[in-house]
Structure 1
Amino acid sequence: MDKNLEILKNLSLERLEESFKSISESPNKEDEQGKKRRESYKNAYPFFVQYFAGVEEITIDNLVIAAHFVYGWMPTILTFEFAHIDKVLESLNKVKRGNLLNSSEIVEIKACVNNSLVGTSKLLHFINPDKYAIWDSNIYAYLKETKKHYGVDNVDLYLGYLKKLGEITNEDKFKDFHNAINSKVKYNVTPMRAIEYVMFHAHPKSESTE
């Protein structure tokens, strides 16, 4: 196994269930501003998904708008790169149609949106939340069980992460876990989002601000 993918070995439905139990039972120690920010993200999420649900063919207009609302969830300011935009749009429409991209296609999209895999993963997720999961330093911290985030920008690791999540969603007991997350969030989310939600909330506090 690629050394970078070794952190995926300990990701299992059993661990996710334990993590969900832990975050459900633990008191929320965030300050008032943190709670408001998290509630704002939760409330905005379905609007972002719905934006792309109503788009048949992704154009540059959709991409520019979406890239900027994605960065509303991030502390960095977006630098949008228009080079190779036709290839980027071609790849994003493949995502819209339910296809999985290869590493070179993801790298090209990444170059368009701040050269950030985190921002790219959020864009891909909002376009097709059934096939793509959000990836950030918090998810990386959960998988590696560390506060350090070096390695979070590894595209092959992100693709391995998507494959692993797909395997977990096919397990017999996953439906009960998924239903529990929907009840917690108070609206229906995709299986990919359900898993990522638990990892995000259960991660060791990351040293990254992204």
Structure 2
Amino acid sequence: MTQTPPGITLEKLRRAIRLIDEPLIELTPQSLTYLHSYPALLAASRTLASSHNSGDLLLQLSAMCYGWMPRVARVNARHVDKASAALACALESDVLIDTAQMQDLANSLHSVVGTSKLLHFLRPQLYPIWDSKVARVWATSDATTNMSKVENYRSYIEDIRTLIASADFAAFHEDFNQAYGRRLDRLKIAPYSLSPVRAVEAAAFELSGGDYDDD
């Protein structure tokens, strides 16, 4: 198992709890939409996956997840078959798909970030979301300047798995979920819990500066 980067510790991630509990922070409309829609997208992904037509699942999840992003989905038809097969493996397996399969998905979507979102909504217990804000907090300069490298995303997953396996993680996860619930309650959003990988990724996003209004 890979070693967690020196700058990424549970103590550092705990600082995000204080940020989430800050009542004066104003979230952008985009961030509020993310918070409102996240559990609905998880539920929709489960419904789509239950039909398990892998070709349709790739297109449906792509359209849905890219509606959650400030980008437009661009599915490369030449890579759909391999990407659909990779998505089917991700759905059926309790272990990570291999790097080549992740690359098949990234080739289809023209994006490793988009790939991470598809995989997350399909298997939120296994795959975190990867974006530039998280990478800035998390990783080396190579990761921040090469968001298109599947290897960087996979290293990030392994680092999160190392954190989750640590003795103090359960306490962090509980405290973070409680703080997250308090934020949702303040915003009049029905509280929901985050998976361990989502909690770590969400904490890193907060530490990166989050998505706040400057007004």
- The residue number in structure 1 matching 2:187 is none
Identity of aligned residues (%): 25
- Among candidates 148, 153, 156, match of residue 158 of structure 1: 153
Distance verdict in 2 for CA 1:23–1:64, change over 3 Å: same
Question: Contact 2:57–2:84 at 8 Å: present in 1 too?
Answer: no
- The residue number in structure 1 matching 2:66 is 71
Tell which deviates more after alignment, 178-187 or 128-137. Answer: 178-187
Question: Contact 2:3–2:162 at 8 Å: present in 1 too?
Answer: no
- The residue number in structure 2 matching 1:17 is 14
Structure 2 unaligned residues grouped into runs of 5+: 182-190
Shift in Å, 1:120: 0.6
Distance verdict in 2 for CA 1:7–1:170, change over 3 Å: closer
Question: Contact 2:137–2:208 at 8 Å: present in 1 too?
Answer: yes
Structure 1 unaligned residues grouped into runs of 5+: none
Matched, 1:125 2:120: yes
Structure 1 SS opposite 2:77 = coil
Mapped partners of 1:95, 1:85: distance in 2: 15
Q: Which structure has the higher relative contact order (CA within 8 Å, separation 6+)?
A: 2
Cα root mean square deviation, aligned: 2.5
Q: TM-score, normalised by structure 2?
A: 0.81
- Among candidates 135, 152, 155, match of residue 140 of structure 1: 135
The number of aligned residues is 196
Mapped partners of 1:7, 1:178: distance in 2: 17
Shift in Å, 1:8: 3.2
Mapped partners of 2:112, 2:24: distance in 1: 32
- The residue number in structure 2 matching 1:191 is 196
Amino acid at match of 1:18: R
Distance verdict in 2 for CA 1:204–1:150, change over 3 Å: farther
Tell which deviates more after alignment, 45-54 or 126-135. Answer: 45-54
Shift in Å, 1:111: 1.2
Q: TM-score, normalised by structure 1?
A: 0.83
- The residue number in structure 1 matching 2:101 is 105
